[in-house]
Each structure stands twice: as structure tokens, then as C-alpha cells.
């Protein structure tokens, strides 16, 4: 009798255990569902936010195109909103790519000071808008490590933007870098709202970040820190957050390993700075190929304004005709065109023996897309929307290598 009673009690305990586990699973799933719903609501809000100012700005430009000062101010604002949208899309795609293991770092020897400088340049609008004071302390001699410069810059920009966002106007943000036991250490400190001790373990969580300090929010999806952490770990580094509590500021510290990498600590070679900031040559003959007429016409006009000679083709067939007639130095080619896509067009360029340098301009930016472009004969791959400076820098790097084209510092025939 006692044995039967014990068995019954054990059976009841197992049932209670199963029930408790199912309740925990249900609560966890409910919490995840709620967090995703909040995330999607925030995403909708952030995507809609720029639409109103962009719409109003376009109407102003149409109504008052003769007001030069207003046009400049309006265009500057529009560029800010477009950059905001582009950053949102890039962050969403990066999170998805990392989750699927699709991000591949392009490791090369990079100058840590240059990466920091670039990150500060990109973050300057956010820092200036809120009137923050900036203190920067980096080693005087060059620090070169193996890293993906673009991704490392992205990490620092996310940390700087986070500091700017959660620091009241007129605050101070400090950026310090030093070498410690074969590690590159970069810290970003602010005197902002701080982080409660209970929140510190979760500041890098993807969904938990969305709800932090909503009263201080200046926009964004709250995934910047999660992305920074994952990109840092792809570099075999790690990132930490510290705060003495609410109202006492925060310190985010990024550490990257140097041991085992090709690292050097030396002053820049003579002329290195001048080369890095040399002027972009103008006067290339450029063919813009895109079935999006607005995009093609706008890019062509921008390149003409910079001193280049351009032609526009809205299809692969017309691109071939123009290339055979004018022999452009380079062609900026959209990949997703009907009838003849960019890959087929590249093949036709090769078949015809045209010496045009091909640059892919596309919304597809994965590693496999880049590999396919390289295999198809494209010399470079730019993800839309690429800014004009990036396009010109890419063209200059590609075309200046060829002795048939004007060299940097020489006068182009088209500039005469």
C-alpha cells in the first residue's frame, strides 16, 4: 500500500514538473512574441518617420527652387533622412546575416587611428546636433592590426551614436585608445543617463535593448549595441559595458587581440598621409546603366557636376551601343535589369573586347553576391545607395592603375 502511495506521489511530482516546464516555455514564448511585436512597432515607426520631412522637403523644392539658401538647407536635411533610412536597413540586414553566419570579414592591415578618425567623422552630425564636447586620446604612433576596417568603423560608430543618444545636450564624450598586453583597447565614455545595475547584463541583447530609456530616445531600433557586440566577436574581440548607475554615465570598452596578427607600431611613412587624402581625379568617361530612370539620371547628373563626362543607358542593349560608340573608361552597372541583366551585359562587354572597367551597382550585398560579381568580371561591387564620394574614390582607385587613363595629379583631357 505504501509503495503504491509513493508511486502515486512520484507520478504527481513528475506531472507537476512537466506542467511547470511547459508554463516556463509558454511564458518564454509569450515574452519573445511580445518583444518582437514591440520591435516591429518600433521598426514601423522608424521607417515612417523620415517620410514626412522628405515629402515636405520635395514640395518645398518644387515650389521655391529659386531660394538658394533654402534649397541647400532642405537638401542637407533630406540627405540626413536618407542616411537614417539606409542605416536602418543596413543594421537589419546585418543582424540577419550574422544570425545565419553569412557575414565574412575582409581582414587586412588597418591603421587603428584612421578607423577611429573615420568613425568620429561619421558620428559628427549626431554629436554636433546635441552640442556634445568631444575628447579624443589615441597613441601618437601608428597602430596597425588585422581587421575589417569598414566593420570595425561600424562598431565604433554604433558606440558613439549610443553615447550621443543617451547623453543630455551639452554633455561630454571621451574616446581613448591604447595598447595593453598585446591588445588594442578602445573606450568610449559619456556622462549621460547611465545604466541601472539590473540592466547591465542585458545592454547587448537584441530585443531587450529596444525598450531602454525610451524617454531619452532619439530614434533608431535599439539594435546598434547588439550588432556592435556580434561584429566585435567576429574579430575575436570582446566588448563590455560599465556604469556606476543612473545619471552617472557609461563606459563601453572594446578590446581586439593583436597577438598572432600582423601588427606594427611605427610612425607613418613619409607622404603616406598625403596619399590617403589625395584629391580624386576628375574627367573620366562614365557610362551609367540602370533601368531605374530616376536613379540613372540623378547619378549621371551628379557625376557630371563633379567634372566627368557621362552617358545613360536604361537597358543592356543600349549600354552596349553607347559603349561601342564612346568607349567609356568605366560603366556603373545595375545588376537587376530586365531582358539583359548586369551579368549578361558584363559577358557581352568581354565578348566585344571592350576595355571598359565594370563596377556593379546593386541592392544585393552579400558575400556570395560579391563573389558572383567578381567571377563575372566586375572590378568592384558597390551596394546601393552608394554615396558619390565612394563611387569617385572607387573609380579613381581602379582607373588610375591603368596607364591608358589619366593618373592622379595629371590633367585629364576632359578637363581642358
Q: What is the mean pLDDT of residues 217-230?
A: 72
pLDDT of residue 286: 94
Neighbouring residues of 151: CB distance < 8 A, sequence distance ≥ 6: 103, 105, 231, 234, 235
Average pLDDT over residues 240-259: 89
Most confident residue range from 212-221, 332-341, 360-369, 383-392: 332-341
Percent of the chain topping pLDDT 90? 25
Q: Specify the range with the lowest mean pLDDT, choosing from 215-219, 239-243, 252-256.
A: 215-219
What topology does CATH give the domain 279-415? Rossmann fold (3.40.50)
Instruction: Please tell me the CATH code under which domain 18-99 is placed.
Output: 1.10.287.130
pLDDT at 35: 63
Q: Where are the domains of the chain?
A: 18-99, 108-274, 279-415
* pLDDT at residue 221, rounded to an integer: 57
Least confident piece of the model among 51-65, 214-228, 325-339, 351-365: 214-228
Question: Which runs of E-coded beta strand occur in 72-139?
Answer: 108-111, 133-137
pLDDT of residue 241: 94
Q: Does pTM top 0.85 for this prediction?
A: no
Write down the architecture of domain 108-274 according to CATH.
2-Layer Sandwich (3.30)
Give the model's pLDDT for residue 338: 84
Q: How confident is the model at residue 272 (pLDDT cuts 50, 70, 90)?
A: very low
For the cut 80, the answer to whether the pLDDT of residue 217 exceeds it is no
Q: Helix crossing, 51-63 with 68-99: angle to 10°? A: 150
Q: Judge whether 18-99 and 279-415 match in fold.
A: no
Q: What percent of the chain is helix, strand and coil (3-state, nearest 5)? A: 50, 15, 30
Cβ-Cβ contacts under 8 Å for 405 (sequence gap 6 or more):
284, 329, 399
Grid coordinates given for 269: 611613412
Classified as helix, coil or strand, 290 is coil
pLDDT, tens only, 31-68: 666 666 666 666 665 666 677 677 777 877 887 777 78
Amino acid at each position: 500500500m505504501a509503495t503504491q502511495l509513493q508511486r502515486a506521489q512520484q507520478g504527481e511530482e513528475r506531472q507537476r514538473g512537466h506542467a511547470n516546464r511547459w508554463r516556463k516555455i509558454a511564458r518564454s514564448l509569450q515574452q519573445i512574441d511580445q518583444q518582437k511585436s514591440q520591435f516591429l512597432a518600433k521598426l514601423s515607426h522608424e521607417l515612417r518617420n523620415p517620410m514626412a520631412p522628405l515629402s515636405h522637403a520635395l514640395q518645398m523644392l518644387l515650389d521655391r527652387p529659386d531660394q538658394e539658401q533654402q534649397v541647400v538647407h532642405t537638401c542637407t536635411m533630406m540627405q540626413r533622412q536618407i542616411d537614417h533610412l539606409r542605416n536602418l536597413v543596413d543594421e537589419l540586414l546585418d543582424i540577419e546575416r550574422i544570425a545565419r553566419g553569412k557575414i565574412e570579414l575582409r581582414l587586412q592591415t588597418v591603421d587603428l587611428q584612421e578607423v577611429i578618425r573615420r568613425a568620429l567623422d561619421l558620428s559628427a552630425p549626431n554629436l554636433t546636433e546635441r552640442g556634445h564636447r568631444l575628447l579624443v586620446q589615441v597613441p601618437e604612433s601608428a597602430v596597425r592590426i588585422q581587421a575589417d576596417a569598414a566593420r570595425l568603423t561600424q562598431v565604433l560608430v554604433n558606440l558613439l551614436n549610443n553615447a550621443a543618444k543617451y547623453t543630455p545636450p551639452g554633455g561630454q564624450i571621451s574616446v581613448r585608445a591604447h595598447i595593453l598586453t598585446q591588445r588594442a583597447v578602445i573606450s568610449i565614455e559619456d556622462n549621460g543617463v547611465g545604466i541601472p545595475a539590473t540592466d547591465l547584463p542585458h545592454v547587448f541583447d537584441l530585443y531587450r535593448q529596444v525598450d531602454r530609456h525610451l524617454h531619452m530616445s532619439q530614434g533608431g531600433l535599439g539594435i546598434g549595441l547588439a550588432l556592435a557586440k556580434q561584429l566585435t566577436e567576429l574579430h575575436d574581440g570582446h566588448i563590455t559595458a560599465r556604469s556606476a548607475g543612473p545619471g552617472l554615465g557609461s563606459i563601453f570598452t572594446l578590446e581586439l587581440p593583436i597577438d598572432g596578427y600582423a601588427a606594427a607600431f611605427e610612425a607613418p611613412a613619409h607622404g603616406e598621409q598625403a596619399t590617403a587624402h589625395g584629391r580624386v581625379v576628375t574627367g573620366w568617361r562614365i557610362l551609367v546603366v540602370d533601368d531605374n530612370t530616376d536613379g540613372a539620371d540623378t547619378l549621371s547628373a551628379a557625376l557630371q557636376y563633379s567634372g566627368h563626362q557621362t552617358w545613360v543607358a536604361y537597358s543592356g542593349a543600349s549600354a552596349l551601343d553607347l559603349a561601342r560608340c564612346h568607349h567609356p573608361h568605366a560603366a556603373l552597372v545595375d545588376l537587376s535589369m530586365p531582358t539583359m541583366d548586369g551579368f549578361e551585359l558584363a559577358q557581352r562587354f568581354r565578348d566585344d573586347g571592350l576595355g571598359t572597367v565594370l563596377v556593379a551597382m546593386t541592392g544585393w550585398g552579400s558575400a556570395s553576391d560579391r563573389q558572383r560579381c567578381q567571377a563575372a568580371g566586375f572590378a568592384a561591387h558597390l551596394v546601393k545607395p552608394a554615396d558619390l564620394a565612394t563611387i569617385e574614390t572607387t573609380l579613381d582607385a581602379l582607373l588610375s592603375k591603368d596607364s591608358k587613363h589619366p593618373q592622379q595629379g595629371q590633367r585629364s583631357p576632359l578637363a581642358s
